[in-house]
């Protein structure tokens, strides 16, 4: 399901909602344990999981470059919120009757040519996370990313003009 995007100041807030047929504990592990994170978002490396701790972003472009992102909020098995450029990314996990709810919110400021690429990337990464939870692993599907990039380019233009 495509993210819901809303204008906020000179940026946007995107909200991705996923209902997952897995326990909070299983989903939280996939979000925070490096051996699982690398299979759905290979750029991220959990370093110090706590409020004011750090997550490393590895460029994965052969340069060896990386940078640290500050964790803004952390609640075990419930919330992981960290800096993301001039904005932030927030994961919220909550129990549901038949599994759990996973919400990803992303604040992007300012909106630019990279915005739709970022949104398409998170969309595909969430699909990969869902597949991983179901026991399937696949390499990053560039064709899926290209499809969603087109969709999010249209959606962002609609919101941001």
Per-residue pLDDT of 45-82, as tens digits, reads 999 999 999 999 999 999 999 999 999 999 999 999 99
Per-residue pLDDT of 97-134, as tens digits, reads 999 999 999 999 999 999 999 999 999 999 999 999 99
pLDDT at 20 over 80: yes
pLDDT at res. 160: 73
pTM for the complete prediction? 0.96
Task: Please name each of the domains of the chain with its CATH number.
Answer: 4-160 (3.30.530.20)
Q: How confident is the model at residue 156 (pLDDT cuts 50, 70, 90)?
A: very high
State how far the alpha carbon of 123 is from the alpha carbons of 40, 88, 98, 146, in Å: 11, 16, 23, 11
- The burial class, CB within 10 Å (0-12 / 13-18 / 19+), for 115 is buried
């Amino acid at each position: 399901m495509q993210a819901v995007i809303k204008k906020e100041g000179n940026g946007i807030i995107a909200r991705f909602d996923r209902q997952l047929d897995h326990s909070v504990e299983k989903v939280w592990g996939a979000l925070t344990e490096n051996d699982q994170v690398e299979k759905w978002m290979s750029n991220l490396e959990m370093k110090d999981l706590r409020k004011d701790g750090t997550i490393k972003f590895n460029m994965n472009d052969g340069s060896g470059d990386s940078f640290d992102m500050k964790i803004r909020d952390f609640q075990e098995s419930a919330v992981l919120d960290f800096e993301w450029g001039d904005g932030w990314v927030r994961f919220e996990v909550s129990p549901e009757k038949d599994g759990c709810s996973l919400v990803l919110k992303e604040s992007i400021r300012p909106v630019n040519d990279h915005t739709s690429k970022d949104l398409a990337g998170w969309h595909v990464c969430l699909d990969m996370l869902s597949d991983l939870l179901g026991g399937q692993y696949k390499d990053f599907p560039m064709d899926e990313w290209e499809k969603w990039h087109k969709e999010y380019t249209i959606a962002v233009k609609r919101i941001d003009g």
